[in-house]
């Protein structure tokens, strides 16, 4: 066995005593097996991960690039979250056939709807490639490290992709101290099978988001299709349902306090090795800036969505995505403060520095971190506002896609040469692709207000000496009849009107005409392009280099820091941060006490849902069909032992973004629910895990099947699953 793999195993072997914390590598999960058995697991190591035979990993997939899903039948049927399928459902909806609001169930395969752009990624195998990568990188640091890593990664991935048969990814673990190759198969013919009405799939809305108790039916169902050989193939009427190597049986026996719970999935990113300086910057600058920008952005969108149903369907997916992390950053900041994470990390860093001194090592790593954060701090807010405020405007983004073309024209103009036809075509094609992607979220009334308010917010919060020239030269300039800019307004809303009246960007027909016969003169004279170029040029020339230099230095220091921590804590708990690769976490179904004198049970019921019911509310209304089923207590075989219908439950599993839709699996390997959220008291979790408060919120499999069966009348789907009582 390779020396590096032995090191990796040595690092994770000591973690078994902490059942709830940690997102484990499937390939190495055997090292946790004794602890998993102690907690109640009845499966073998090979049942969990086996490269030669079907195993649990084969039932799990990365859904749509940012969520997790699980196979629940031998005919390609999958389960994920409602919010993971939200964009696909909204895209398939119209005002006249509103699948999002009314729900949808295919009662046969012919009724299933192609979900364009949705992908399903199945892990085939993992391989340690640390020696190969490190040999190519050598002692390189900074930009040279990145350059050499990208080169060796490209080389490995191109070889292992086997001419497009597979998707190959080389990923770093432990902040660049370990490297693994992951091989996937990618399926692109994915079709919508069913979803509950939005009132249930998003029950509680922004109010209940990240909160417990919860009563949300956060699930949707899709089916994967393949060619006659079960291989990936683009959508075709001749495709057939995909046959997975493994699918999960569904248990409706119910779960109890202390029961074993295991989660497979694709957690996105954690940053638990972040130093105190980074946490302090997040609390005081980064997170509040994000929240301020998103507060305003959401208010503008909500106003226009409420006024027009078509606008609602157009923007609702984007709104939900923005709102989710708007509240996340509020909660993360609050919990980082409450748990005194900065002070705790500083104490840990002091011990680390003392360890460096004891071991005759240069004890200056924390000082280096301090210096780079001190240098970066004056530009941190600007960096956030550029991404969250300036780019909140679709007009700014749509004009911004012309930046490469604009720069090419400038270079040719300076050199007094004509642009090559092939080069011009390359820039135009790239601009058209990016333009179409942004056009999907463009609503005229919303965007006029967005441009005005975001331009004003940028001016109010970014330091005056860092603002782009468009403010002084045009927007805030004293107006007179001889003003050569042509703008004579005196308010941000008037400026937005002026931009929209003097641009071809907001009209797709005019944009396409420009692309057919582009000229630098037309580009330079377009007011929206002038606006966007001022912001983009100011940031990319003056501030992006500072941001990137900080990032490079931080990456080098973090890699060194984690390497030394791995040495310092040879006999203590360590695990790699989440990095959008498959992980396993395990723990228990478990209640908790969020504060003194308050106890939260481990489950919620339909009684609690109906207690929250508010007719006509955007967040707490429910369909009449559900009300009738509730009144009749028509819960079928999905009721608990006492006759109640459970809706959601909680476990102490370790998850993060990307785990949305992950299966929650019992000791026998049966699906008992779909994970969809975390709890408010533990929203510091991506930076600092809290064993006492951390909980995963799960939609109970019994509630899912109840809605499919009793409300959706889709017993065809129930019959397709392996349902175990």
Residues 616, 634: Cα–Cα separation, whole Å: 24
- Separation of alpha carbons 80 and 14, rounded Å: 33
Q: Is 83 a catalytic residue?
A: yes
State the DSSP string of 359-385: TT----HHHHHHHHHHHHHHHHHHHHH
Q: Which of 427, 21, 76, 37 is nearest to 245 (CA)?
A: 76
Sign of the Cα torsion 341, 347, 350, 356 reads: negative
CB 683 within 8 A of CB 212: no
For residues 415, 419, 423 and 425, what is the CA-based torsion angle, rounded to 10 degrees? 150
Rounded to whole angstroms, the Cα distance separating 612 from 621 reads 9
φ and ψ at 689, to 5 degrees? Answer: -70, 135
Select from 222, 270, 161 the least CA-distant residue to 654. 270
> Please, which residues have CB within 8 angstroms of residue 110's CB and are 6 or more apart in sequence?
none
Q: What six digits make up the tokens of 457?
A: 């917010």
Q: What is the β-pairing status of strands 77-80 and 67-71?
A: antiparallel
Whole-angstrom CA distances from 212 to 367, 599, 680 are 41, 11, 7
* Residue 596 to residue 518: CA distance in whole angstroms: 67
Contact 121, 67 (CB under 8 A): no
Three-class SS state of 430 = helix
**Judging by DSSP bridges, how do beta strands 240-241 and 220-226 pair with one another?**
antiparallel
452, 457, 460, 462: CA torsion to nearest 10: -120
| Alpha helix segments (H runs only) across 649-711 | 701-706
Half-sphere exposure of 520 (CA within 13 A, CB side): 16
Q: How far apart are the first and last CA of the chain?
A: 44
Candidates 58, 189, 208, 218; catalytic one = 218
- Nearest to 110, CA basis, from 241, 247, 233, 244: 241
Q: How far apart are CA 447 and CA 642, in angstroms?
A: 53
Nearest C-alpha neighbor of 231 from the set 243, 247, 246 = 243
Give dist(CA 154, CA 152) in Å, integer. 5
Strands 723-724, 250-251: parallel, antiparallel or unpaired by DSSP? parallel
CB atoms within 10 A of CB 569: 14
> Residues 401, 428: contact at Cβ < 8 Å?
no
Q: How far apart are CA 486 and CA 479, in angstroms?
A: 9
| 660 catalytic per annotation | yes
Strands 67-71 and 646-651: unpaired
Residues with Cβ within 8 Å of residue 83, at least 6 apart in sequence: 201, 202, 218, 320, 324, 660, 676
Helix (H) or strand (E) holding 585: strand 583-588
- Return the number of other C-beta atoms located less than 10 Å from residue 652's C-beta: 24
Q: Which of 660, 662, 677, 700 is catalytic?
A: 660
Are 455 and 475 spatial neighbours (Cβ–Cβ below 8 Å)? yes
Contacting residues for 109 by C-beta, under 8 A, at least 6 apart = 223, 241
Q: Assess contact for 29 and 48: CB atoms under 8 A.
A: yes
DSSP character at residue 269: B
Indicate which residue of 20, 58, 73, 83 is catalytic.
Answer: 83
Cα distances from 393 to residues 292, 389, 451, 452, 530, in angstroms, run 15, 8, 6, 9, 15
CB 88 within 8 A of CB 313: no
Active site residues: 83, 218, 660
């Amino acid at each position: 066995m390779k020396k590096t793999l032995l090191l990796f195993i040595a690092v994770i072997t000591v973690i078994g005593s902490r059942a709830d914390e940690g997102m484990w590598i499937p390939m190495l999960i055997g090292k946790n097996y004794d602890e998993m058995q102690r907690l109640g697991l009845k499966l073998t190591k090979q049942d969990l991960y086996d490269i030669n035979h079907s195993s649990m990993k084969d039932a799990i997939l990365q859904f749509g690039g940012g969520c997790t899903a699980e196979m629940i039948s031998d005919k390609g049927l999958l389960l994920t979250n409602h919010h993971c399928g939200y964009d696909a459902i909204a895209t398939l909806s119209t005002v006249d056939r509103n699948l999002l609001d009314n729900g949808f169930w295919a009662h046969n395969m012919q009724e299933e709807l192609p979900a364009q752009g949705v992908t399903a990624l199945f892990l085939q195998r993992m391989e340690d490639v640390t020696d190969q990568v490190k040999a190519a990188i050598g002692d390189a640091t900074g930009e040279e490290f990145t350059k050499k890593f990208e080169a060796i990664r490209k080389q490995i991935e191109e070889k292992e992709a086997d001419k497009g048969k597979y998707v190959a990814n080389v990923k770093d673990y432990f902040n660049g101290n370990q490297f693994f190759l992951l091989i996937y198969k990618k399926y692109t013919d994915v079709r919508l099978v069913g979803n509950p009405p939005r009132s249930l799939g998003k029950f509680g809305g922004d109010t209940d988001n990240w909160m417990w108790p919860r009563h949300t039916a956060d699930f949707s169902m899709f089916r994967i299709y393949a060619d006659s050989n079960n291989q990936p193939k683009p959508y075709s009427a001749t495709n057939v349902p995909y046959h997975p190597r493994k699918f999960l049986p569904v248990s409706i026996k119910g779960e109890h306090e202390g029961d074993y719970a295991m989660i497979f999935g694709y957690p996105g990113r954690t940053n638990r090795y972040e130093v105190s300086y980074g946490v302090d910057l997040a609390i005081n600058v980064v997170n509040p800036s994000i929240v301020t920008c998103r507060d305003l952005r959401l208010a503008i969108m909500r106003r226009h969505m409420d006024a027009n149903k078509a606008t609602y369907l157009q923007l609702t997916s984007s709104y939900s995505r923005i709102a989710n992390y708007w509240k996340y950053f509020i909660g993360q900041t609050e919990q980082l403060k409450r748990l005194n994470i900065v002070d705790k990390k500083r104490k840990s860093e002091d011990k680390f520095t003392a360890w460096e001194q004891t071991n005759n090592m240069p004890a200056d790593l924390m000082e280096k971190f301090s210096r780079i954060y001190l240098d970066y701090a004056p530009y941190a807010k600007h960096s956030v506002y550029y991404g969250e405020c300036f780019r909140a405007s679709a007009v700014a983004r749509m004009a911004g896609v012309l930046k490469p073309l604009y720069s090419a024209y400038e270079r040719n103009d300076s050199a007094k040469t004509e642009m090559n036809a092939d080069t011009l075509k390359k820039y135009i094609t790239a601009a058209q692709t990016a333009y179409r992607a942004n056009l999907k979220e463009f609503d005229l009334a919303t965007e006029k207000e967005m441009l005005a308010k975001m331009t004003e917010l940028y001016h109010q919060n970014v330091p005056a000496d860092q603002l782009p020239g468009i403010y002084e030269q045009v927007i805030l300039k004293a107006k007179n009849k001889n003003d050569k800019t042509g703008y004579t307004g005196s308010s941000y809303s008037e400026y937005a009107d002026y931009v929209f009246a003097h641009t071809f960007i907001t009209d797709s027909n005019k944009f396409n005409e420009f692309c057919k016969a582009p000229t630098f003169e037309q580009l330079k004279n377009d007011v929206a392009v002038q606006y966007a170029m001022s912001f983009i040029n100011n940031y990319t020339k003056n501030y992006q280099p500072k941001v990137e230099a900080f990032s490079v230095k931080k990456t080098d220091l973090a890699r060194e820091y984690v390497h030394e921590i791995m040495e310092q804590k040879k006999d203590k708990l360590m695990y790699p941060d989440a990095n959008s690769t498959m992980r396993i976490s395990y723990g228990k179904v478990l209640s908790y006490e969020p504060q003194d004198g308050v106890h939260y049970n481990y489950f919620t019921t339909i009684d609690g849902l109906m207690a929250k019911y508010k007719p006509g509310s955007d967040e707490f209304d429910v369909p009449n069909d559900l009300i009738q089923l509730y009144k009749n207590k028509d819960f079928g075989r999905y009721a608990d032992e006492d006759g109640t219908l459970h809706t959601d439950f909680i476990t102490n599993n370790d998850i993060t973004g990307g785990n949305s839709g992950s299966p929650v699996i019992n000791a026998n390997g049966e699906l008992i629910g779909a994970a969809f959220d975390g709890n408010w008291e533990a929203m510091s979790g991506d930076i600092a895990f809290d064993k006492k408060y951390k909980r995963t919120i799960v939609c109970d499999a019994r509630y899912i099947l109840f809605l499919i069966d009793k409300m959706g009348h889709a017993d065809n789907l129930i019959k397709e699953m392996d349902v175990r009582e």
